[in-house]
Amino acid sequence: MFTQKLYKNGNSVVVSIPKEYLKKYNLRDGTEVVVEDKDGIVVTSKKKNTAFIDSRFARMVDEFINDHEDVLAKLAKR
């Protein structure tokens, strides 16, 4: 996760993605992304394995895993 400020560019407001994330997820100028409103903004590339998950969702997943660790371990053995 990282924090960026929005800035004005012409009639739009944009956010930049740091170079290391562009490289990690194979993104470049012109790559299409999907912006969803799910208790925060989630930006997902249309390419495989390039999802950005907001911190609230990540915390929810961590809490779920911690709360149900025994059940998940049993499911993993199946």
- What percent of the chain is predicted at pLDDT more than 70? 90
Closest CA to 25 of 48, 6, 9: 48
Q: Which has more confidence, 33 or 13?
A: 13
Top CATH class, 7-77: mainly beta
CA dihedral 59, 64, 65, 66 (to 10 degrees): 90
Tens-place pLDDT, residues 58-67: 788 889 999 9
Q: Which has more confidence, 3 or 9?
A: 9
